[in-house]
């Protein structure tokens, strides 16, 4: 099938992939689901592919396969061999980087330069956790008094995999949000059932092929596309799943917690945010203007760590706004395959409607629209980079996660760090944030006061493979990335031996 991409072409491997058979991966086999669903290019609205979707029956088969693999070949495999298989996966992904990148561009809408970076980060992450396998270590400690009083004794700890893990991933960075869960889980020795978002199935269907090529035993990784309310819910409540790891909205996060109650499975959640960006009077505006703009507009604002609540000091307010408006109005919107594109489309018509409703509500509440605010009159779900000034803390535009290219700016008169922190912390969320100033002492003192899992100074959203990431408050439970990301898939067993 030929598909229009606003005049842009795809590599032959991506074209061939789109014409392939998009089945689920269960127990090492590509199997049919219970129905089909279509995925569309959000920049053009055209159908990219029809793919199989599974429901409870497919989740049951996938969990059973994952349990067999956990108790069988994966559980008994030597650590060095597990390392080699993960390293092999990294090489296969690297060899297929163009395919993985192009699939996230056309399925999600993200600009190609971002998709290229996230693919490279995914390869790095698989390598990072492959390298961590031989460093999974317990400790030795003093045996309990009642045992050592009677005999020589030894106490040590073992780190063991949590077991069968359900991973429910969103559409905003499809490959990356899956890999940052898969790689540490597999390194820990867990087996996995992944439920991608039905909005963006493609890169994980390509990954399913690569899982086979890398040499994982059957059932170690299962990928079941399906809807949240059916497949997702069945996975979250499954009695034979030991842990569920979820990235998505806070509302769905609550449903996951309720669903997990039956067998009290472990839960980790990476949820929403409304991250503060504090621009002090001495900020270097040459850095702050593009940095603050991209804190909001990166990934069309469909980004859990987006910095969308800007607290700008009155001394630099006018100059900052002028720079931000110039930056935002100069951003090139277009198809992600176009190398000039800085901002792509929103994921769907429905989501676009939600973002436009937020924009209308902000206008009605008295926020001042200084740039953007319109949906482009062209096919696809394009919303202009939008900036509201004169915002006050009670406005929905300052409080709610919009998940679109919408910035809200509040003028502040204070440089008192406690007062700035009080403004920044006036939110149920706590995922990210940034501080812009030349005064490093003030920056570090302010960072310490901000209740958030991740705060940057003179940059925003500085995430990395080795850097723990997660939320305070209603932004989530647990941490991903780095050593803490691996710890989330390990249990600790304490052993005492009377010798
Ligand atoms: P959801 O949180 O509903 O979806 C995320 C994932 O959860 C998807 O795979 C979805 O499946 C699945 N899911 C949905 N309902 C259930 C359920 N009852 N049980 C188990 N899994 C479920 O996000 P939306 O796509 O609806 O986006 C809504 C808002 O969420 C956005 O506007 C944004 O504010 C926020 N969001 C935050 C993200 C983050 O990175 N923190 C990522 C994505 C969204 P399916 O897609 O098939 O329904």
The 10s digit of each residue's pLDDT in 309-343 is 999 999 999 999 999 999 999 999 999 999 999 99
Confidence of residue 3 (pLDDT cuts 50, 70, 90): confident
**CA-to-CA distance for 150 and 363, rounded, in angstroms?**
76
Sorted by sequence, the CB contacts under 8 Å of residue 240 that are 6+ apart come out as: 63, 64, 67, 164, 263
Ligand 1 and 480: CB distance under 6 A? no
pLDDT score of 183 more than 80: yes
Residue 385 burial (10 A CB sphere; 0-12, 13-18, 19+): buried
Which percentage of the chain shows pLDDT scores above 70? 100
Percent pLDDT > 90 in the chain is: 98
Locate the ligand 1 atom nearest the alpha carbon of residue 195 and give its number.
9
**Residue with CA at minimum distance from ligand 1 atom 48:** 228
Handedness of CA 262, 250, 189, 134 (dihedral sign): negative
The DSSP annotation for 21-66 comes to: ---EEETTEEE--SEEEEEE-TTT--EEEEEEE--HHHHHHHHHHH
Collect all residues with Cβ–Cβ distance below 8 Å to 313 and sequence separation of at least 6: 279, 280, 281, 283, 411, 412, 413, 415
**What pLDDT does residue 261 have?**
97
Instruction: Give the mean pLDDT of 390-414.
Output: 98
Mean per-residue pLDDT for 92-99? 98
Which residues sit opposite 195 in a β-bridge?
168
CA distances from 168 to 100, 184, 215, 253, 268 (A): 19, 15, 23, 10, 11
pLDDT class of 1 with cuts at 50, 70, 90: low
In residues, how long is the chain?
Answer: 499
Beta bridge partners of 247: 270
Distance 403 CA to ligand 1 centre (A): 12
Predicted confidence (pLDDT) per residue in 28-62, tens digit: 999 999 999 999 999 999 999 999 999 999 999 99
Q: Residue 7's pLDDT is what?
A: 86
Residues 6+ apart with CB under 8 A from 111: 105, 336, 341, 342, 343, 344
- Nearest atom of ligand 1 to the alpha carbon of 431: 41
Q: Is the CB of 475 under 6 A from ligand 1?
A: no
Q: Which atom of ligand 1 is nearest to the CA of 253?
A: 2
Say if residues 386 and 362 touch (Cβ distance below 8 Å): no
pLDDT for the residue 4 = 73
DSSP characters over 212-252: HHHTPPTTSEEE----IIIIIHHHHH-TT--EEEEES-HHH
Tens digit of each residue's pLDDT (9 = 90 or more) over 149-159: 999 999 999 99
Q: Which of 199, 248, 270 should be mutated for ligand 1, with most atoms under 8 A from CB? A: 248
Would the CB of 271 count as within 6 Å of ligand 1?
yes
Nearest of 37, 1, 40, 30 to residue 18 by alpha carbon: 1
Distance CA 482, CA 85 (A): 20
Predicted pLDDT of residue 333? 97
By annotation, the residues acting in catalysis are: 270, 304
Give bridge partners of residue 192 from the DSSP assignment: 165, 221
H/E run at residue 111? none
Whole-number pLDDT of residue 69: 98
Is the predicted pLDDT of residue 459 greater than 80, yes or no?
A: yes
In short, whether 255's Cβ falls inside 6 Å of ligand 1 is: yes
Give the pLDDT score at 2: 60
Any ligand 1 atom below 6 A from CB of 252: yes
Tell me, in angstroms, the distance from the centre of ligand 1 to residue 351's CA. Answer: 12
Nearest-atom number in ligand 1 for the CA of 303 is 40
Q: Does residue 381 surpass a pLDDT of 80?
A: yes
What is the pLDDT averaged over residues 9-21?
95
Eight-class DSSP state of 262? T
Strand, helix or coil for residue 278: strand
């Amino acid at each position: 099938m030929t598909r229009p991409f606003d005049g842009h072409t795809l590599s032959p491997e991506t074209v061939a992939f789109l014409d392939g058979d998009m089945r689920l991966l269960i127990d090492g086999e590509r199997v049919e689901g219970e129905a089909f669903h279509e995925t569309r290019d959000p920049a053009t609205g055209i159908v990219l592919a029809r793919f199989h979707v599974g429901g409870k029956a497919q989740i049951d088969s996938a969990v059973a396969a994952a349990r067999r693999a956990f108790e069988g070949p994966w559980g008994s495999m030597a650590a060095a061999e597990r390392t080699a298989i993960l390293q092999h996966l990294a090489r296969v992904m690297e060899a297929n980087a163009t395919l993985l990148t192009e699939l996230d561009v056309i399925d999600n809408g993200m600009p190609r330069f971002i998709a290229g970076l996230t693919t490279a980060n995914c390869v790095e992450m698989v390598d990072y956790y492959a390298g961590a396998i031989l460093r999974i270590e317990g400790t030795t400690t003093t045996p309990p008094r009642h045992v050592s009083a009677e005999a020589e004794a030894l106490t040590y700890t073992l780190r063991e995999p949590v077991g069968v893990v359900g991973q429910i991933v969103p559409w905003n960075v499809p490959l990356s949000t899956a890999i940052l869960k898969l790689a540490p889980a597999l390194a820990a020795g867990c087996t996995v059932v992944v439920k991608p978002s039905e909005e963006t199935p493609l890169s994980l269907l390509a990954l399913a092929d690569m899982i086979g090529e890398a040499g994982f035993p059957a059932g170690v990784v299962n990928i079941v596309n399906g809807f949240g309310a059916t497949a997702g819910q069945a996975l979250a409540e499954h009695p034979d799943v030991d842990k569920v790891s979820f990235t998505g909205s806070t509302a769905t996060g609550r449903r996951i917690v309720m669903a997990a109650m039956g067998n009290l499975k472990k839960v980790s959640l990476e949820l929403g945010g409304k991250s503060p960006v504090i621009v002090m009077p001495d900020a270097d505006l040459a850095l702050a203007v593009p940095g603050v703009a991209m804190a909001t507009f990166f990934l069309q604002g469909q980004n859990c760590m987006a910095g969308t609540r800007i607290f700008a000091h009155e001394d630099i307010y006018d100059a900052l706004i002028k720079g931000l408006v110039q930056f935002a109005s100069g951003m090139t919107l277009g198809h992600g395959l176009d190398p000039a594109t800085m901002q792509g489309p929103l994921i769907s018509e429905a989501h676009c409607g939600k973002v436009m409703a937020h924009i209308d509500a902000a206008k009605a509440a008295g926020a001042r629209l200084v740039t953007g605010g319109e949906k482009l009159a062209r096919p696809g779900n394009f919303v202009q980079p939008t900036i509201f000034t004169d915002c006050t803390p009670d406005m929905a535009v300052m409080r709610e996660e919009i998940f679109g290219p919408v910035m809200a700016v509040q003028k502040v008169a204070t440089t008192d760090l406690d007062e700035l922190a009080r403004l920044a912390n006036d939110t149920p969320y706590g995922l990210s944030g940034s501080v812009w100033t030349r005064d490093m002492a003030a920056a570090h003192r302010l960072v310490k006061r901000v209740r958030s899992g991740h705060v940057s100074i003179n940059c925003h959203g500085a995430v990395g493979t080795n850097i723990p990431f997660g939320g305070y408050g209603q932004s989530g439970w647990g941490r991903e990335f780095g050593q803490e990301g691996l710890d989330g898939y390990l249990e600790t067993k304490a052993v005492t031996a009377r010798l």
